[in-house]
Structure 1
Amino acid sequence: MSAQESIPVYTNLTDLYSSLGTSLNHAERWSNLAEEFEKRFKKKPTYIARAPGRVNLIGEHIDYALFGVLPAAVERDILIACAPRDVPPNSPVEPAENAPGSVIAENLQPKYTRQVFAPRRKPTEEEVHVEGWHLEIPQELRWENYVKAGYYGVLEEHFTGATQLPIPVDLLVTGSVPAGSGLSSSAAMVVASTLTFLAINGKLEASSDEKVTKGKLVKMSMENEKRVGVNSGGMDQAASVMSVPSSVLYITFYPSLTASPTPLPAGAVLVLAHSLVVADKALTAPKNYNLRVVETLVGARILARHLKLTVGATEKITLREVLGRLVEEVVGDGGDGLAEDMLMEALAKMGEAVEVLKPVGTTHAEWGATKEEMVEMSGLSAEEFHKVYLSWVDVDATHFKLYKRAKHVYSEALRVLQFRKLCLDTAASSSLSSSADVLTQLGQLMNDSQTSCAADFQCSCPELDQLTGIAREAGALGSRLTGAGWGGCTVSLVPEAQVDAFIKKVAETYPPYKGLEGEALSEVIFATRPSVGACVYKFD
């Protein structure tokens, strides 16, 4: 799947629905959204933008180290219906809905209140004669902040210094991706809102000089989500934008963003189960997500020094780049980087190399290093270290577990390539008898990933550990957390013939599911197949 491809813009509902999958009644949801939009805004929507959630089969917390991952879009998604709003000429800019580029945003969920906001022009600090934009985006877990984040990215990319103003817009949001589940509802919301403002302002049209490709949308969405306080590595956005049906995506970030479909073996079904522990990545980032980003980056610099590799004073070298420099990988000037078999060989060696990151002595809790020790090992001054690694992100820790984090990253990156190779080899052989054996091997890789996530990256939690254990006892070939962790969902690999029995057994055994039935149960545990990525429907 090329990053240079255009975002699909459908004008035919039959083509649209056939691309989305079959486990949900998509036609009913889209029709209900359009009808409700017309009731509320007294006009039909011009577009509906869709962005799916995603499940990561394997490859957790390695995307921001620039290693490849294997996610897939799920059928559950975020939908945003929108239409331009006519503002009479010479209208006062107050109230806010009359301001240039103003937004009236509503949500089908009644607990989310109506929001009205508008960006305003401001001079940039660098060039007082060039106008930028200001749009207040508190780093809080509120749905409208994700909408604002998508909007601000479009303003900065397409309207800075331009005489054209963004179009005032009315929008209505609905979603079926559970929030805080590890299925990337936040990324889906940011992708969908970015798409909404691109579409309404004509940036997806083929005739536009600023037409946005899938690769550009991924990069914009990554930057947009940072505005709500999350330093994303790009996996969530790439999966939401670039996925194709019936396959997981092998997404790489080095030396460039690529996405290659990888077909799952016949008979494989994914079952997602919510632990019912809400994983609020934005609020817990200083102790969890953002801290892991810093630990992997600092670990990479210290490892590079031990291996006598050259690292720039202000460079934030990643663990993937350390590996590349060690084996003298050629990138750029016609070099495409390591072939996958060579990368697998190099990763096996890196598992031994990271042993140098183990602190000496027994005073360090679980192989942790203090900030002062990290500064000394980095070869930087305290001021340089702070500028490179701490000035741009909030972290909260007394000990930094560099060894454990690097050990997980390199072992997980190897498991991703082993998983992909098994899938590709099975597809090439077309042997049903070998497919069953391969599913068992894939399941074991998922189980090993969960062990590493829990023990080395420490992004699991007791509920996730319990739920993955129950899943295996109920017949899953493999079960692991998916997403950032610390709550949210598990993904289990289940033979197709056993899906119903598996779901029934887990529902009866996992204590937080007690008393859940019907729709309430289907909201927390459900089967899915890989779905298509983000798209837009344009009404006549």
Structure 2
Amino acid sequence: MCNNTKCDKVPVKEIPSDTRIGNLINIFREEYDAEPDFIVKVPGRVNIIGEHIDYCGYPVLPLALEQDILIASKKISKLELFIRNSDKKYRKYYTQINTFEDIVIQSEPQSKPEWYNYVLCGIKGALEYLNNEIFYGMQFLVDGNIPPASGLSSSSALVSAACLSFLHGQDAPTNKTEIASLCARSERYIGTVGGGMDQAIAFLAEKYSAQYITFRPLKAEPVALPENAVFVVAHSLAEANKAATNDFNRRVIECRLAAKLLAEANGQATGKRIVTLSEVQTLLGKSLEEMIALVKEVLFKNVYMKHEICDKLNLTETELNDIYLTPNTRNLTEFKLKQRALHVYEEASRVESFRSICEDLSKDNTTHNGRNGSVTNGNGSATSFDSLHVLGELMSASHKSLKELYECSHENLDHLVDISKQMNVHSRLTGAGWGGCIVALCPKERVKEYIEMLIDKFYIQYCNIDKNQVHKYVFATTPNHGAIIYK
């Protein structure tokens, strides 16, 4: 792991000889009658394990994809902003940018935001960071090959690429961890209360390894994956957009309220501030296993009504709305606190088990059968199978929890997981859920067979997709590097 200042800078490299980048430059010339000054590249990501726990303060284990967002940029003298897309189906956007307040994120409640609003989120965050001290306007041309609304972080990559492009255009010095945190804050302008995983992997990723990402402070440690392991990503063909519904934010505030009730029930007065489930664990000095038992003891009801939570926290409904809920969740009257908290603590345990197995494998480079012939699977039981199977079992347990406790799966995702089981391949939904993709852990020698089976049984038989079109929906991936600036 690199800790020096130089290593923490976003790398600047020469523009490579690349067909896609060459096409982007040509389109930029057509749109703006000028050459771009630089191009920013920010990857998408797939989360191997650790879903819906980053905003609760727990570590996650993602890797960066080869698919990415590119933004070609040019500085201009007038303080104006031009945003265009290489795909002509997307609307163009223009505004003046004298101040932070000039950037208005316009989105109707419960509707899908315009694509350029994600670009505006990144720029709004950059303007706030710069205290409105800007010297140039910008011309942007965006190109992306991350499938949108797929759970592969296309929106976060777009926010991050826009923020980095604008800061670089203003000659503003930033390091990777600083800008990752800034981009996580910036995405909240679109109305999504995320935890920072997507932005962290976008900037801190390293080629050939996953990243164990921790928060407060933000850190990333490379995790070597088993040599025989290949991760396959398969799109469910159901699109999910976090900003278009309150499903995602609902889970966030249910975790907030669960944390608050757990703290209060155990004599930890935290005032009216928001606390996370990981903070409560630290406050109580308990292990993850002890927290799981505590959830079952304290949050024993399957559904909590809003008035019950107000009574337990000694708050009025207005105070609860203003302090803990988001604008698009204030209409809720029922909350599932036990289920959400159980998922978070059990998933955090699975992440630690997954990382531990990978580290042991890396140390001795042999098949890992656990200490004394067993390894904890994150739910307290032990197995003695080979390492890939044990890691796969953790992923399968993660999907089961996301489906049953977090209720964020989709019938297409579940069908992909079930099909995978027919080949003894373990998989799970990745990303927020409600659509998007699964990620599967497949032995290297079976990847081709596995992908062909998914093509036949899911895309052709189940979804009636033309075989010539399916390869853009399913692919094997290896860990890629983080953000780069090309000049």
Normalized against structure 1, the TM-score is what?
0.82
Instruction: Specify which of 177, 183, 192 is matched with residue 230 of structure 1.
Output: 192
- Asked if structure 1 preserves the Cα contact closer than 8 Å seen for 2:357 and 2:368, the reply is no
Q: What is residue 515 of structure 1 aligned with on the other side?
A: 465
In structure 2, distance between residues paired with 1:159 and 1:142: 26
1:57–1:44 CA distance, 2 compared to 1 (3 A): same
- Residue pairs, 1:109-258, within 5 angstroms: 109-121=87-99, 133-139=101-107, 140-160=112-132, 162=133, 165-203=134-172, 211-254=173-216, 256-258=217-219
- Asked if structure 1 preserves the Cα contact closer than 8 Å seen for 2:410 and 2:435, the reply is yes
- Asked if structure 1 preserves the Cα contact closer than 8 Å seen for 2:13 and 2:484, the reply is no
In structure 2, distance between residues paired with 1:12 and 1:382: 56
In structure 2, distance between residues paired with 1:111 and 1:52: 22
- Asked if structure 1 preserves the Cα contact closer than 8 Å seen for 2:43 and 2:65, the reply is yes
In structure 2, distance between residues paired with 1:524 and 1:534: 24
The AA in structure 1 aligned to 2:296 is E
Give deviations 1:422-475, integer Å, cap 9, x for gaps: 000000011258699111100000000000000001111111111111122134
Q: What is residue 93 of structure 1 aligned with on the other side?
A: none
- Asked if structure 2 preserves the Cα contact closer than 8 Å seen for 1:266 and 1:432, the reply is no
- Residue pairs, 1:475-490, within 5 angstroms: 475-476=424-425, 478-490=426-438
Q: What is residue 406 of structure 1 aligned with on the other side?
A: 341
Give how far 1:517 is off: 2.6
- Provide the alpha-carbon RMSD of the alignment: 2.0
Instruction: Specify which of 49, 65, 73 is matched with residue 56 of structure 2.
Output: 65
In structure 1, distance between residues paired with 2:229 and 2:341: 31
The AA in structure 1 aligned to 2:9 is I
Name whichever of 145-154 and 430-439 sits farther off: 430-439
Give how far 1:535 is off: 1.3
Give how far 1:225 is off: 0.8
* 2:79 maps to 1:79: no
Give how far 1:291 is off: 0.5
| Structure 1 SS opposite 2:101 | strand
Give deviations 1:157-215, integer Å, cap 9, x for gaps: 1143x4xx341221211101000000010000000111110111111xxxxxxx11111
| Structure 1 SS opposite 2:67 | strand
The AA in structure 2 aligned to 1:47 is F
Q: What is residue 526 of structure 1 aligned with on the other side?
A: 475
- Identical columns (%): 35
Q: What is residue 380 of structure 2 aligned with on the other side?
A: none
- Asked if structure 1 preserves the Cα contact closer than 8 Å seen for 2:38 and 2:72, the reply is yes
Q: What is residue 291 of structure 1 aligned with on the other side?
A: 250
Give deviations 1:261-282, integer Å, cap 9, x for gaps: 1110111111111111100110
Name whichever of 107-116 and 392-401 sits farther off: 392-401
Q: What is residue 267 of structure 2 aligned with on the other side?
A: 308
| Structure 2 SS opposite 1:227 | helix
Give how far 1:257 is off: 1.1
Q: What is residue 34 of structure 1 aligned with on the other side?
A: 25
In structure 1, distance between residues paired with 2:443 and 2:470: 21
| Structure 1 SS opposite 2:149 | coil
| Structure 2 SS opposite 1:244 | coil
The AA in structure 2 aligned to 1:119 is I
Instruction: Specify which of 383, 404, 413 is matched with residue 455 of structure 1.
Output: 404
Give how far 1:253 is off: 1.0
Q: What is residue 19 of structure 1 aligned with on the other side?
A: none
1:456–1:9 CA distance, 2 compared to 1 (3 A): same
Q: What is residue 389 of structure 1 aligned with on the other side?
A: 324
In structure 1, distance between residues paired with 2:306 and 2:289: 29
* 2:339 maps to 1:420: no
- Asked if structure 1 preserves the Cα contact closer than 8 Å seen for 2:361 and 2:368, the reply is no
Give deviations 1:466-489, integer Å, cap 9, x for gaps: 11111221342x100000001000
- Asked if structure 2 preserves the Cα contact closer than 8 Å seen for 1:481 and 1:491, the reply is yes
- Asked if structure 2 preserves the Cα contact closer than 8 Å seen for 1:426 and 1:434, the reply is no
Give how far 1:356 is off: 2.7
> How many residues get paired?
465
Q: What is residue 341 of structure 1 aligned with on the other side?
A: none
Give how far 1:113 is off: 2.4
- Asked if structure 2 preserves the Cα contact closer than 8 Å seen for 1:7 and 1:535, the reply is no
1:266–1:169 CA distance, 2 compared to 1 (3 A): same
In structure 2, distance between residues paired with 1:38 and 1:134: 27
In structure 2, distance between residues paired with 1:273 and 1:374: 40
Name whichever of 483-492 and 142-151 sits farther off: 142-151
Following superposition, which runs of at least 4 residues in structure 1 exceed 6 angstroms of deviation? 433-436
Give deviations 1:397-436, integer Å, cap 9, x for gaps: 3310000000000000000000000000000011258699
Q: What is residue 437 of structure 1 aligned with on the other side?
A: 386
In structure 1, distance between residues paired with 2:9 and 2:148: 25
Larger radius of gyration: 1
Q: What is residue 49 of structure 1 aligned with on the other side?
A: 40
In structure 2, distance between residues paired with 1:200 and 1:512: 47
- Asked if structure 2 preserves the Cα contact closer than 8 Å seen for 1:275 and 1:464, the reply is yes
Instruction: Specify which of 241, 264, 277 is matched with residue 280 of structure 1.
Output: 241
* 2:314 maps to 1:379: yes
- Asked if structure 2 preserves the Cα contact closer than 8 Å seen for 1:274 and 1:490, the reply is yes
In structure 2, distance between residues paired with 1:159 and 1:378: 38
Instruction: Specify which of 276, 289, 294 is matched with residue 318 of structure 1.
Output: 276
In structure 2, distance between residues paired with 1:263 and 1:58: 14
1:357–1:455 CA distance, 2 compared to 1 (3 A): farther
Unaligned runs of 5+ in 1: 15-25, 87-99, 122-131, 204-210, 328-344, 361-366
The AA in structure 2 aligned to 1:151 is I
- Asked if structure 1 preserves the Cα contact closer than 8 Å seen for 2:46 and 2:63, the reply is yes
- Asked if structure 2 preserves the Cα contact closer than 8 Å seen for 1:120 and 1:135, the reply is no
